[in-house]
Amino acid sequence: MDNFFSVATRDDISAGISGHPLQHSAEQLFWAAVVTAAGYSLLSLLLTLLRAAPERAALLARLRAMGLRPRQGVVLILCEALPQALAAAAAGAGIACLSAPLLGSTVNLSAMVGTTVPGGLRVDAGAVFWLAAALAGLCTLVVLVETALTGRRQINTELRAGDQR
């Protein structure tokens, strides 16, 4: 007796299209977009820090001349820079969470996965949270590195008489 029926599971279909060029291209496009967005975020943060670096270094030098410890200077800089970075990360996460319901019905993922996808886009809140936390951590790291680099300057270099900034 011949087998008249063939059964294909979702795993079989997924394995069959995993090497498909369209899915591979979509994955490359996603990771390129993630790296580009992270690069633009880092560039924006670096440009903002570089613009404010001379004033921040002069302020820290004056406060250190008055007795501020280096660790207290780092805390002061973090308290100045992190609220903006955290607000930006929270706003980005909020926009990501709101864009999925707004665009969900118009985006058709069927061509990428090979089967009909009901409902369009859905938000993975855990992934959005971790990406926002990673962005806030990256901001913290950049602020700490910038503070460490500018903090190595000597106080007398920043406090020269007649310095016109």
> What confidence tens digit (pLDDT) does each residue in 107-164 have?
666 666 666 766 666 778 888 888 888 888 887 887 788 777 766 665 666 666 555 5
Q: Which two tokens stand for residue 61?
A: 């030098």
pLDDT by residue (tens digit) across 81-108? 788 888 888 888 888 888 877 776 666 6
Q: Measure the CA angle with vertex 114, ends 108 and 117; round to 5°.
A: 40
Long-range (24+ apart) CB contacts under 8 A made by 22-26 are: 22/111, 22/112, 23/112, 23/113, 26/112
Closest alpha carbon to 148 in 49, 66, 63, 82: 49
Q: Tell if the pTM clears 0.85, that is, is over it.
A: no
Q: Which two tokens stand for residue 133?
A: 């936390």
DSSP structural state of residue 131: H
